[in-house]
Amino acid sequence: MKFPARSVLFDLDGTLVDPAGAITGGIRHALLSSGIPDPGQALLDTLVGPPLAHGLMTVPGMTEARLPAVIRDYRSEYSRHGIFRSRPYPGIPGLLDGLRAAGITLAVATSKPEHIALALLEAQGLLDKFDAVRGAAAAEQDSLAEGPGKGHIVRAALEALDAGPDTAVMVGDRHFDVQGATVCGLECIGVAWGFALPGELEAAGAAAIVHSAHELEDILFGGLPGTQVPETKGKAE
């Protein structure tokens, strides 16, 4: 695509917002409530990103019979407490303001259920910075049926912005974001501050990996390494 992008799609947890343990802590609470031992932080961290039901089934001791109760307890805990413990990553609010000031349209494309994504963005004061928010239906997150991946969510966000793959870019922290972007013909910039395992974003084919909001801003306005475009940018604060 040509830079600067006319539209930018962002993943939510691990990209825009640091869950601050709200997701993994909520899952741990729900597991223990159902008599399932704490699987450890490393495994819990891998559950940030994929559909919840599929992720939970990787936890030792989890069964399909226990799954509905665990999901129900997690959703309740997250809605009451987790949304308010989360925080935008450093520089993200300023980055979003700079992009909007430059006339770039913004969307969230998340595997989180859409109504929860909207509530989280509102609680964190970010909702009005986006032109569209697209997420998963609750049934997708809570079902063990083979899901469609993230491509349909990315596509829905593109359609909401009336954007095409030649004018838009995806930003995310997991290989699910890269893959969802790829099936829609988008490049994906990976962020290193999220929940990717070492080498995950590189293996998935991320166009670049950034380590700060300022570095992300440089690419969104100035292009991928090796490209040159006219200087037009705001500043992440």
Catalytically active residues, by annotation:
11, 13
Q: Give DSSP secondary structure letters for 38-65.
A: P--HHHHHHTSSS-HHHHHTTSTT--TT
For strand 7-10 and strand 168-172, is the pairing parallel, antiparallel, or unpaired? Answer: parallel
Q: Which of 45, 53, 50 is nearest to 28 (CA)?
A: 45
Q: How far is 222 from 155, CA to CA, in rounded Å?
A: 25
Contacts for 219-224: CB closer than 8 Å, 24+ residues apart: 219/3, 219/189, 220/3, 220/4, 220/5, 220/8, 220/99, 220/104, 220/169, 220/189, 221/3, 221/4, 221/102, 222/3, 222/4, 223/3, 223/4, 224/3, 224/187
**Tokens representing residue 223 in the block:** 């292009």
Phi, psi of 135 (to 5 degrees): -140, -170
Are 147 and 169 in contact by the 8 Å Cβ rule? The answer is no
8 forms beta bridges with 106, 169
Are 123 and 84 in contact by the 8 Å Cβ rule? The answer is yes
